[in-house]
Amino acid sequence: MRQKIVAGNWKMNNTLDEGLKLTTEIANMVADEVRGDVRVILAPPFIHLSQVKSLIKDTDKLFLSAQNCNENESGAYTGEVSTSMLSSIEVEYVIIGHSERREYFNESNEQLAKKIDATLSEGLLPIFCCGESLEVRESGDFISFICNQINESLFHLSTEQFSKVVIAYEPIWAIGTGKTASSEQAQDVHAEIRKYVASKYGDKIADETTILYGGSAKPANAPELFACPDVDGGLIGGASLKSRDFVDIVKSF
Ligand code: PEP
């Protein structure tokens, strides 16, 4: 079954105290207000993960994600974090290939394929980000650009492995800009992604794949985005730093 998900990507924001306060607020609101079929994922910075886990481990609605991982098992990679370290503190998801990682840390589709493999081999669930820049959008060739990202980073997976992957479509021109894709633009791309997944893994797997939208989603526009038949939730940046806004987005289905 396709899982409804709203994930909050805190990026490099919040001290530990601030992060724990935000987690407590979200956990309380989610317990009181959120229906059971929506999975809420928090993706704080690495140093928050362990303590955020302690705060959410007794609820079955909240899950934990890292924002990145290293593709190697262990060794001399100063400053990096492996997937076995993440699974040792019961992290469940890892965001892979966020556009900020692609742009500022030069992460290629090929490297991301290795990160996907490292994630799955530890039993972690990848949230794989794809999406085009404004330049690519205006060239008109953005669907083949996105399909190529998916092909090069995901299509080496077996059907069983692929069935664990969540895809997040995040047009770069909409991330942190306040300029959201319209619900028609989001639906069109999500439908194309689903069609492309079906061409490789078949209709059943494609139908069960969760595809999130990300890019300036907020309480005011989330209901229209989440009402689209191929939009299964959101990856939320800025609005995930305010508990009320984030939980209102979660309640937008
Ligand atoms: C993101 O960074 O994944 C994102 C969607 O950010 P924002 O919601 O701030 O546009």
Please state, as a whole number, how many other Cβ atoms lie within 10 Å of the Cβ of residue 147: 18
Catalytic residue (one of 100, 107, 132, 170): 170
Q: Where are the alpha helices (DSSP H) in the chain?
A: 16-33, 49-56, 83-88, 99-104, 109-121, 134-139, 142-154, 159-162, 183-201, 203-208, 222-226, 243-250
Mean pLDDT score, 4-13: 98
User: What is the pLDDT averaged over residues 24-39?
Assistant: 94
- Answer yes or no: 190 catalytic: no
Closest residue CA from atom 3 of ligand 1: 237
Residues 6+ apart with CB under 8 A from 20: 48, 51, 52, 55
At residue 15, what is the residue type?
A: T
- Residue whose Cα lies nearest atom 2 of ligand 1: it is 237
pLDDT score recorded for residue 35: 82
**pLDDT bracket for residue 149 (50, 70, 90):** very high
Has residue 226 got a pLDDT over 90?
Answer: yes
Active site residue 98: yes
- Please check whether residue 19 is in contact with residue 44, taking contact to mean a CB–CB distance below 8 angstroms: yes
Task: Judge whether residue 178 has pLDDT over 90.
Answer: no
Q: Is 217 in the pocket of ligand 1 (CB under 6 A)?
A: yes
Phi, psi of 164 (to 5 degrees): -90, -10
Q: Please enumerate in sequence order all residues whose Cβ is within 8 A of that of 33, keeping only pairs 6 or more positions apart, or say none.
A: 247, 251
Tally of CA atoms within 13 A in the half-sphere of 116 that contains its CB: 29
Residue 18 has pLDDT above 90, yes or no: yes
- List the end-to-end C-alpha distance of the chain, in Å, as a whole number: 16
Return left, alpha or beta for 212; rule: phi > 0 is left, psi -120 to 50 is alpha, else beta.
Answer: beta
Q: Is any atom of ligand 1 closer than 6 Å to the C-beta of 129?
A: no
- Rounded-to-integer distance, Cα 159 and Cα 142, Å: 26
Nearest CA to ligand 1 atom 7: 237
Q: Are 49 and 66 in contact (CB under 8 A)?
A: yes
Ligand 1 within 6 A of CB of 180: no
- Ligand 1 within 6 A of CB of 9: yes
- Of ligand 1's listed atoms, the one at least distance from the Cα of 174 is 10
State which amino acid sits at residue 180.
T
Cα of 74 from ligand 1 centre, angstroms: 30
Amino acid at 13: N
Q: How many Å apart are CA 50 and CA 64, to the nearest integer?
A: 9
> b/e per residue, 165-187, with b = 16+ CB within 10 A?
bbbbbbbbbbbeeeebbebebbb
pLDDT digits (tens, 9 = 90+) for 119-135: 999 999 999 999 999 99
Alpha-helix residue ranges (DSSP H) falling in 95-133: 99-104, 109-121
H or E stretch covering 142: helix 142-154
Residue 166 CB–ligand 1 contact under 6 Å: no
What pLDDT is attached to residue 36?
A: 85
Flag whether pLDDT at 177 surpasses 90: no
